[in-house]
Amino acid sequence: MYCRNCGNEVSDKAIMCVACGTPPKAGDKFCYNCKAETNASSTICMKCGVSLKETAPVQEEGRDWLTALLLCFFLGVFGVHRFYTGHTGIGVVQLLTLGGCGIWALIDFIMIIVGSFRDAEGHLLVRR
Ligand SMILES: [Zn+2]
Ligand SMILES: [Zn+2]
C-alpha cells in the first residue's frame, strides 16, 4: 500500500512511513491502494473506488458517562440508567422494585462515579 500522507510505497504492516514518519493511514492526501491524490474530505478514492475512511482507527463507541450518571441520580429508582446502558432486564426489575428501595440505584450510582459500571456490551462508560 501507499502512505496516505506522502504517497511513498510502504509495507501493509508498516505502522510508520519511512519517508515522512507518520502512520501510513493517518494522512489524507493519497489513496493507499493506487497512490492517486485524494481530497481530504473524500470518503472513497475517485480513481480505484476503495473506501478511504475504512482504514481510519475505529473508535469504540461507549455510552456517555455523564448521561448515565445524571439518569441514575434523578431517575435511578426507575432503572432508567439501566435502560440507557442496555441492561433492559435489570431495568425492568429496578423499575418494579423502585431501584431495590433505592439501595440498588445507590450502588449503581457509586459504581458509575468510580468508573466501574459497564454497559450491556461490556464496555465502560465514556467520559467526554
Ligand atoms: Zn509517508
Ligand atoms: Zn485509489
**Nearest ligand by distance to the CA of 51:** 2
CA of 21 to the centre of ligand 1 (A): 6
Q: What is the pLDDT of residue 52?
A: 86
**Grid coordinates given for 90:** 435489570
Task: Please state, in angstroms and rounded to a whole number, the distance separating the CA atoms of residues 4 and 10.
Answer: 10
The b/e string for 79-114 (b: 16+ C-beta within 10 A; e otherwise) is bbbbbbbbbeebbeebbeeebeeeebbeebbeebee
Per-residue confidence in pLDDT tens, the chain, 128 aa? 999 999 999 998 888 999 999 999 889 999 999 999 998 888 899 999 998 875 444 455 789 999 999 999 999 999 999 999 999 999 999 999 998 889 999 999 999 999 999 999 899 999 88
Output the pLDDT for position 56.
47
Which residues fall inside 5 Å of ion ligand 1, going by CB?
3, 5-6, 8, 17, 19-20
Residue found by looking up cell 519511512 in the block: 18
Does pTM surpass 0.85?
Answer: no
Residues 6+ away with beta carbon under 8 Å from 127: 65, 66, 115
pLDDT of residue 60: 58
**Cα separation, 92 vs 79, whole angstroms:** 7
Please report the pLDDT score of residue 5 as a whole number.
95
Specify the pLDDT at position 55: 47
Query: Cα 37 to the chain's mean position, in Å?
Result: 29
- What is the identity of the amino acid at 80? V
Tell me, in angstroms, the distance from the centre of ligand 2 to residue 26's CA.
16
CA of 103 to the centre of ligand 2 (A): 58
